Chains A and B, each alone.
Chain A
Amino acid sequence: MSEKDKIKTLLVKKPLKLDCGQTISDFPLAYETYGKLNDKKDNAILVFHALTGDQFASGTNPITKKDGWWNYALGPGKAIDTDKYFVIAANVIGGCMGSFGPSDINPKTKKPYGTNFPVITINDMVNAQYNLLEYFKIEKLFSVIGGSMGGMQVLQFVSNFPNKAHTAVPIACTASHSAQNIALNELGRQSIMADNNWQDGFYEEQNKQPDKGLAVARMAAHITYLSKAGLQEKFGRKLQERDDLKFSFDADFQIESYLRYQGSVFVDRFDANSYLYITRAMDYFDLTKKFGGNLSKAFEKSDTRFFIISFTSDWLYPTSENREIVIALNAIGKDVGFVEITSDKGHDSFLLNVPDFLNTVRNFLNKSYEKI
């Protein structure tokens, strides 16, 4: 079985008008499913992935051979129990795991799109994935769930399709990307673009890869996913396989070695242009923009039951920003629950084994499913 055969793909025939003005059609949307859709078709959950995630949320990713990115939360008997629910996860457009992205071949030039790929938004990603509901003939999802950029997609989904999900669980996210987060994304993009191999985005046709730039982008981003306390506890000033400082620029400290490793493994699985496009989509995300700055208006027509989760040590998408969403929903009397989970694992908490978090998700879903 070739790599491509391991990826399920829906060819979206229907034209999709992107926010940038371009229209795309006949584009691939790669997806994976877990569990079984029941006869009533009322047990479907659409899971949205974060910046560097993909459709392989659970089990083993057949391409990278690594664990699925949400293995702690999603699977048989887990918080999002695939013995009970039918989970659909898709790779976002702009991504690099089989969905329409910048490394696809442009039929006009017969070369990869590179930076000729249209700039996409969270809105475009969600509108593309909506086609999966029609494909599976699902009238209404039981839930839409996602963390970080996945949470932004959850919010966008409910705003765009106010009666298409019984429940929504946005985790560790925001309704409007902050200046700090735009700045951090820009740092990553500039790192990629500063790599000579990037070649203005047309590196593939020259058989080059801006690995160094992408690795540095990942290293910088990785720090933002952790917390100061978490880093201190795990690494402190511990030295890497040496008894004393070497008075050089080697990786003396374990944290340096760890970050270098994170950078080096990332470039094997991720495309630099996808990184540019997806971080751009996050930066452009401001759900209030269309509604004159009033977030409540984005959810006015929704009949969805919300459950919002943040983490104490997440400084990238802090509790205060998650709470903004709660406040906007309460202002219009929507059904919304909110929990801040104690964890020193930073923004990454939603991907890790944080029992309070996993129990909360499990309880919310199972109790809500009894009510529909």
Chain B
Amino acid sequence: MKKEFYNIANLVTKNSKILDVGCGNGELMKYITENISKDIRGIELSKSNVQKCVEKGLTVIEGDAEKDLRQFPDNSFDFVILSQTLQAFLDPENVLNELLRIGKKAIVSIPNFGHWKVRLHLLLKGTMPVTENLPNEWYNTPNLHMCTIKDFENYCKQRNIKINLKNLKFQNLFSELGIFILEK
């Protein structure tokens, strides 16, 4: 399992009620089910990933986070997880609002466009950065709304969303990935 998932799993509390938005093949859900909380379910767009979740015995709903989060009542989960998909939504702002509406806390991770390798790539090569976390070219990337850790923090401040972040400058330059806990 990738390191990001261990980090996210460490942020959720024992036996809490969790929704994994864009749960992929269910790897993170499986780990959390076996180690932290059985009360977890996922929502996933890809049909083949949905099948893989069912194979693992996980509760998964085939659906699109941009439209299908509406069906969950306010504060119906202790944690809502969104791993590295925020930048791929047509309307990430709406998705963030929904996450904070249905979850008491939202755990959001984003690929950091402010990482030094990304900055250096653009500076030296003059082409759109292609890195381990951002493996696509400009013409086939699913990422519509790239941002930096600093952008994301500014956004949360503007909207009065509580965000845990220390050492912003350091993180924005040296973290390939930002993982945040958000609260209304």
Contacts and interface: CB of A to CB of B under 8 A. Distances in A.
Interface of A: 305, 326-327, 330-331, 333, 335-342, 356, 359-360, 363-364, 367-368, 370-371
Nearest to A361: B54
A340 B73 contact: no
Contacts, number: 52
29 contacts: A326-B61, A326-B71, A327-B71, A331-B73, A333-B73, A333-B76, A336-B61, A337-B41, A337-B59, A337-B61, A338-B60, A338-B62, A338-B63, A339-B47, A339-B51, A339-B54, A339-B60, A339-B62, A340-B62, A342-B47, A359-B51, A360-B54, A363-B51, A363-B55, A367-B54, A367-B56, A368-B57, A370-B57, A371-B57
Contacts of B47: 339-342, 356
A311 to B, nearest CB: 12
The 6 closest A-B pairs by CB, nearest first: A367-B57, A327-B71, A338-B61, A330-B71, A363-B54, A363-B55
Interface string B65-90: 00000011100100000000000000
A327 to B, nearest CB: 4
A116 B89 CA distance: 59
Interface string B111-152: 000000000000000000000000000000000000000000
B21 interface: no
Given A367-B54, A368-B57, 10 more contacts: A326-B61, A336-B61, A337-B41, A337-B60, A339-B47, A339-B60, A341-B47, A342-B47, A360-B54, A363-B54
Contact of A336 (B50, B57, B59): B59
A364 B51 CA distance: 10
Contacts of B60: 337-339
Contact of B50 (A305, A327, A339, A367): A339
Contacts of A371: 57
A333 B73 CA distance: 8
B184 to A, nearest CB: 20
A356 B46 CA distance: 14
A330 B61 contact: yes
Nearest to A305: B59
A126 B24 CA distance: 38
A305 B61 CA distance: 13
A360 B62 contact: no
Contacts of B55: 363, 367
A241 B25 CA distance: 50
Nearest to A332: B73
Interface string B13-35: 00000000000000000000000
A356 B51 contact: yes
A360 B51 contact: yes
Nearest to A327: B71
Contacts of B57: 363, 367-368, 370-371
B4 to A, nearest CB: 25
Contacts of A367: 54-57
A371 B39 CA distance: 13
A364 B60 CA distance: 11
Contacts of B41: 335, 337
Contacts of B63: 338
